[in-house]
Amino acid sequence: MYEKRIEVENRLCGPVKPVNGVGQPPMRGLDTSLFHYLTEAGIPFSRLHDVGGYLGGSLFVDIPNIFRCFDSDPEDPSSYDFGFTDVLISGLVEAGVEPFFRLGVTIENYCTVKAYTIYPPSDSLKWARICEGIIRHYTEGWANGFRYNIRYWEIWNEPDNEKDPLLNPMWRGTKEQFYDLYDTAAVYLKKRFPHLKIGGYGSCGFYALFNESAPPAANVGERYDYFMEFFDGFIDRIKASGAPLDFFSWHSYGSIENNIVCANYARKRLDDAGFTSAEIFCSEWNLDIGLKGTLKHASSVAGMLLAFSDVPLDGAMFYDAQLSTSDYGGLFNPLTKKPFAAYYSFAMFSELRKLGRMLPVSLAGLPEVYAKAASDGSKSALMIANCSGKTLANVRILLPSGKAPGRVTEVFGNGLSAGIRGTEFNGNIGKNKVLLINF
């Protein structure tokens, strides 16, 4: 019999990266009472895209919701309507979650009926000055604002969603028009805020690497070759112009193994183009979304978190933590307002982040099982996600010399009730199990 084994080495490595961010938070209207769940799960980021529903609820985050009339003066505080976004941002900061601010607009999935806010700005420099006013408000206290530590400012989201502008729910323009907007805005904002991170653009991803259609959850049609064309053109343009790229963001609704390939591809492509210092974020991801609320979804989510912690990413955001009936709202039950099982995969991963430093882990004979360990030099823990779809028997766990297993916990639950509870490890890893073994 081929031995099934998980072995942990006693050697501190790099930090456990903040790949356990989320998209929009669990909020209805202005009710931020569920944000404590983000605090308790150690969520590092909330990416502010699609907040508030269609057109950002006409209230939140989107540039047209904050700066109501494009003809207004961006130097005049009265030109801005910060009210609802202030409540959102302040609630996140009070919960210990850093906003990852998307500068742009919400996706318009019904744009073929009528498009509203997805047109290229008529004046790219003025658009950049409007963004400057928003950044000043939240980081410099301007316009009766705040001095929050919001480091990341992401220019737009999925401008590559469709090649035909009339079908594109994010950008009713050409790719060259987006390159112009990014070039102008990034140069202007980086000069004004050299200490902040300016980047973009929420790429639809790299499905073409696998010669297959994007999964339906990606909501991107069949234009996956265009995603690559758009990305290559973007890199060529900013390399030629010298526009800054502090970080690049991309999306995926594909499998764990495919996402590992995508993360490595993005890093290599940027490095080859000379952007070796650019950070990389997977700013939208999800998988098995039709199974939300199940242990299968919880194990898939845990597996992705563990896999992402060992690839060239600087962070990631699950899409998303919204409180709604949408298939994408995979962390909270909209009826009970309680967490689904997948939320507790995030909570369990945060225990690794609290410990701080990774420990090397090797696996043998365990395909579709993911495991990572962390330590603070004294206390350590090993997290395991069984995504194989079957119970695995006779698994050996080899800890560093002198270490013995301590408390063992598991994620449990269904659509109505979920959590983390104590258990025992007896050599078997059950189907869809997510475990944390302290040692």
Quick: pLDDT tens for 191-200: 999 999 999 9
Beta strands 395-398 and 4-8 are parallel
Do 201 and 56 fall into the same domain? yes
pLDDT single digits (tens) 94-121: 999 999 999 999 999 999 999 999 999 9
Q: What is the mean pLDDT of the chain?
A: 96
Cα distance between residue 239 and residue 235, in whole Å: 6
Kindly tell me if the per-residue pLDDT of 221 is higher than 70. no
CATH number of the domain where residue 78 is located: 3.20.20.80
User: Is 186 part of any domain?
Assistant: yes
Amino acid 63: pLDDT: 98
Q: Which parts of 162-255 fold into alpha helices (H)?
A: 175-192, 224-241
Q: How far apart are CA 15 and CA 358, in angstroms?
A: 6
Answer yes or no: do 137 and 238 share one domain: yes
Residue 148 CA to residue 370 CA, distance in Å, equals 36
**Pair type for strands 408-413 and 434-438:** antiparallel
Tell me whether residue 304 is in a domain.
Answer: no
Query: Tokens in use for 342?
Result: 């997948």
Whole-number pLDDT of residue 214: 66
Structure tokens at 155: 């220019």
Please identify, among 285, 308, 334, the residue that sits at the C-terminal boundary of a domain: 285
CB crowding 390-425: b at 16 or more within 10 Å, else e: eebeebebebeeeeeeeebbbbbbeeeebebeebeb
Position 30 pLDDT exceeds 80: yes
pLDDT-derived band at 135, boundaries 50, 70, 90: very high
Residue 416, pLDDT above cutoff 90: no
Which of 285, 320, 338 represents a domain boundary (last residue)?
Answer: 285
Q: What is the pLDDT of residue 181?
A: 98
Domain assignment present for residue 322? The answer is: no
Q: Are residues 155 and 280 in the same domain?
A: yes
Please state the rounded mean pLDDT for residues 112-140. Answer: 98
Tokens standing for residue 431: 């189907």
Residues 413, 276 share a domain: no
- The tally of domains found in the chain comes to 2
Q: Measured between alpha carbons, how far is residue 133 from residues 69, 416, 421 in Å?
A: 14, 44, 47
Residue 219 is assigned to a structural domain of this protein: yes
Query: Do residue 269 and residue 368 come from a single domain?
Result: no
Q: What percent of the chain has pLDDT over 70?
A: 97
- 22 in a structural domain: no
DSSP code for 32: -
293 domain residue, yes or no: no
Is residue 131 within 8 Å of 176, Cβ to Cβ? no
Same domain, 218 and 84: yes
Element (H, E) at 66: helix 63-66
Q: What percent of the chain clears pLDDT 90, i.e. is strictly above it?
A: 92
Q: Is residue 305 part of a domain?
A: no
Res. 220: pLDDT tops 80: no
Q: Which residues sit opposite 104 in a β-bridge? A: none
- Chain length of the chain: 439
pLDDT digits (tens, 9 = 90+) for 32-91: 999 999 999 999 999 999 998 888 889 999 999 999 999 999 999 999 999 999 999 999
CATH number at residue 369: 2.60.40.1180
pTM across the whole model: 0.95
Residues 221 and 77 in one domain: yes
pLDDT, one tens digit per residue, over 312-357 is 999 999 999 999 999 999 999 999 999 999 999 999 999 999 999 9
Q: Rounded CA gap, 180 and 3, in Å? A: 56
Inside any domain, residue 345: no
Helix, strand, coil share (%) of the chain residues, nearest 5: 30, 20, 45
- Lowest-confidence region among 86-95, 107-116, 216-225, 409-418: 216-225
Q: Which domain holds residue 137?
A: 49-285
Q: What's the pLDDT score for residue 216?
A: 72
**Which of 285, 316, 341 delimits the end of a domain?**
285
227 and 371 part of one domain: no
* Cα–Cα distance for residue pair 148/84, rounded to 1 Å: 16
The lowest-confidence range among 52-61, 270-279, 293-302, 332-341 is 52-61
Question: Domain check: are 242 and 364 in the same one?
Answer: no
| Element containing residue 36 per DSSP (H, E) | helix 36-40
Taking phi over 0 as left and psi of -120 to 50 as alpha, with beta for the rest, 336 belongs to: alpha
The strand pairing partners of 151, in sequence order, are none
Contact predicate 285/351, CB 8 Å: no
Instruction: Give the residue with greater pLDDT, 88 vs 404.
Output: 88
Identify the pLDDT of residue 1: 47
pLDDT tens figures, 141-157: 999 999 999 999 999 99
